[in-house]
Structure 1
Amino acid sequence: MSLATHELRKAFGGVTALDGATVDFHPGKVNALIGPNGSGKTTYFNCVTGMIKPDSGRVTYKDRDLTGKAPHRIARAGLGRTFQLCRTFPRMTALENVLAAVPHGGLRSFRTRSDIERAMSWLTRLGIEHLARSEARDMSWGQQKLLELAGVLMAEPETVLLDEPAGGVNPALLDRIGTLIRELNAEGRTFVIVEHNMDLVMSISDHIVVFDRGRPIAEGPPSVIRSDERVLGAYLGV
């Protein structure tokens, strides 16, 4: 009943980004996907969420084959996703950005009291309710990261994929993000996180998968990954 891939492959010209990636993430847990730059992590996320189509292999979620499906269909299956570079609507307010995640009709059709209250509750949960009427382009990078996550959560996904949530974020905001992930996980959401900040990864993850050259080379809890010689060699360079 988890997010999994079997022999996933993707090449760009002569460069192999994914080379038979078989992974099974743990449902109900905080999973991390780590590895050196160029190891295929973001390509993996893009294949899983329908942003690009894999050359071969399968993507399954809760025993349903999602391979090559359109992003909106994958989202409706219960998978939400953020990006390395925030994808917000810069000239829309924070509240409008979150409302845009409601998967029915055009923006005007969302503006029911219940939708607005739910959107405001997510902005409040993430600590940016005071920016509800501010345009996204006027927000800091860290605030836009929180806004993008609020939009993802507005769609009520069961599994959330976060692509470098700590990138460019100040330490205080990073602590908030880490705490929020653990709280949302305790409430029943599964997380898969691509991240380079090892302090964050080791502090919040239950299960870690390590990529190198487009395929997993190790997996396990933080205590195991810290001392795995393959990880030390491929990722930590020792």
Structure 2
Amino acid sequence: MNLETVELTKSFGGVTAVDHATVRFVDGKVNGLIGPNGSGKTTFFNCVTGMIKPDSGSVAYRGKDITKHASDRVARAGIGRSFQLCRVFPRMTVMENLLVAVRHPSVRTLLRSADDEHERERARHWLRRVGIDHLEHAEARNLSYGQQKLLELAGVLMGDPDTIMLDEPAGGVNPALIGRIATLVRELNEEGKTFIIVEHNMEMVMSLCDHVVVFDRGRPIAEGEPSMIQQDPRVLEAYLGV
């Protein structure tokens, strides 16, 4: 296991978003994290990646405790993530967005290092991989939402993470782009990347993921291969409402 949590808990006021969640994701595989709206999936992601601090419990990555790490330190440990609401710099070009992704301290650093051809070539490589290399000079605000999602993913890949956490990569994206994202995930997984994907598109989850964890009311209620999850009565009751 490369990423696991033990009794992870986070509350907001009187609402417990993540409730003593003990979860283990499978190294080298595409892991899915599913559950009803409000079941705590994004809060769980935020706790794991240092965006917010859990109230209790622990997060371990490759055998090291990262519970108290800030988000930049989590990223340096080898975990990259995307967000449910796409995060790009709208008035920067596609290329500038990728350079900022690896030069996060300041925009001034970006401008001072703008002649670094090595990083530009790395950026062009990932733009080709996600399929938007023809938009290198376009401002991000002029991209479609699906293209912005691909740009955000390319930015994650610029950090060369071992584990990639994607929060609803198919949300608001047309079927053609969903297919492109799924193909890219599988290719990158075959190249050694581990994925943890929060997603409501069940067709994508069941066809893409090797291992699925199901959340309900802030805690895991089932895990296993997609074929097992689809038949689990706890999942059918909590997630599918049958």
The two structures have a TM-score, normalised by structure 1, of 0.98
Counterpart residue number, 1:95: 95
Structure 1 residues 192-230: Cα deviation after superposition (integer angstroms, max 9, x where no partner): 000000000001100000000000000000010010000
Mapped partners of 1:135, 1:225: distance in 2: 42
What letter is aligned with 1:23?
V
1:38 aligns with 2:38: yes
Offset of 1:112 from its aligned partner?
1.1
1:7-22, aligned counterparts within 5 Å? 7-22=7-22
Name the Cα RMSD after superposition. 1.0
Counterpart residue number, 1:193: 197
What letter is aligned with 2:223?
E
Total equivalences in the alignment: 238
Structure 1 residues 129-188: Cα deviation after superposition (integer angstroms, max 9, x where no partner): 111000111110000000000000001000000000000000000000000000000000
Offset of 1:100 from its aligned partner?
1.1
1:214 aligns with 2:190: no
Stretches of 4+ moved more than 2 A in 1?
A: 108-111
Mapped partners of 1:111, 1:79: distance in 2: 28
Counterpart residue number, 1:52: 52
8 A contact 1:47–1:68 mirrored in 2: no
- The verdict on how the C-alpha distance between 1:72 and 1:7 changes in structure 2, with shifts beyond 3 A counting, is same
- 2:182 aligned to 178, 183, 189, which one? 178
Unaligned runs of 5+ in 2: none
Q: Give the fraction of aligned pairs with identical amino acids, expressed as a percent.
A: 69
Counterpart residue number, 2:130: 126
Offset of 1:102 from its aligned partner?
1.5
Offset of 1:60 from its aligned partner?
0.5
Mapped partners of 1:73, 1:109: distance in 2: 22
Counterpart residue number, 1:112: 116
8 A contact 1:104–1:110 mirrored in 2: no
Offset of 1:110 from its aligned partner?
5.5
What letter is aligned with 1:2?
N
8 A contact 1:103–1:155 mirrored in 2: no
Unaligned runs of 5+ in 1: none
- SS of residue paired to 1:9: strand
8 A contact 1:102–1:110 mirrored in 2: no
Structure 1 residues 25-62: Cα deviation after superposition (integer angstroms, max 9, x where no partner): 00000000000000000000000001100000001100
What letter is aligned with 1:42?
T
- SS of residue paired to 1:69: coil
Structure 1 residues 1-39: Cα deviation after superposition (integer angstroms, max 9, x where no partner): 511100000000000101100000000000000000000
Mapped partners of 1:134, 1:207: distance in 2: 37
Offset of 1:111 from its aligned partner?
3.5
Structure 1 residues 77-102: Cα deviation after superposition (integer angstroms, max 9, x where no partner): 00000001111111100011011122
Mapped partners of 1:111, 1:77: distance in 2: 27
